[in-house]
A and B are shown apart, each in its own frame.
Chain A
Amino acid sequence: AQSVTQPDARVTVSEGASLQLRCKYSSSVTPYLFWYVQYPRQGLQLLLKYYSGDPVVQGVNGFEAEFSKSNSSFHLRKASVHWSDSAVYFCAVRIASSSFSKLVFGQGTSLSVVP
């Protein structure tokens, strides 16, 4: 069964530092992968997605992610974080059948950016 694991429940980084949030997926086929961000008391917003092609995908607000088939990973990165990046980040994989598709989410990583 396809699944997603985010091994870090909480991450704290200093403002201006680089960031990596980890995501591991389990899938028998090349998956469609997503990163969503949830700001406090808001819904989820799509940061970026990977369907195929270049394994490094760019998203909004300077975020990027790299797909690795050999490592079954889709880690999220940012070169320099800002306090406004504090939020919960979810990795998700699309599961599809002949008639339906759905997203399966990881547990989320809560990011705190400190001065």
Chain B
Amino acid sequence: KQEVTQIPAALSVPEGENLVLNCSFTDSAIYNLQWFRQDPGKGLTSLLLIQSSQREQTSGRLNASLDKSSGRSTLYIAASQPGDSATYLCAVARETGANSKLTFGKGITLSVRP
């Protein structure tokens, strides 16, 4: 059974700092990995998707990397801003694309202090 872990559960940083959020998963037979952002009481916004054959994806100040064999992904946020404060979740889709249901971690709640 796939398990996804995100540690720490919460993180507080000053504005402007570069930071790395970590995600690990137990079964390397994944189809893709998605990073999401969730604001309190809201739905999920997709940030980046990395296919299992890719090593990284970039969007603006965000960069996500994937090491499938070791079961790890990182989300790098450059020059953090107070508006980045949210919960960040990573999720993996199992290898068979027939049902690419996602298995989620519990998320990392990020607070960026002005």
Are both chains from one complex? no
Interface residues of A (CB under 8 A from B): none
Interface residues of B (CB under 8 A from A): none
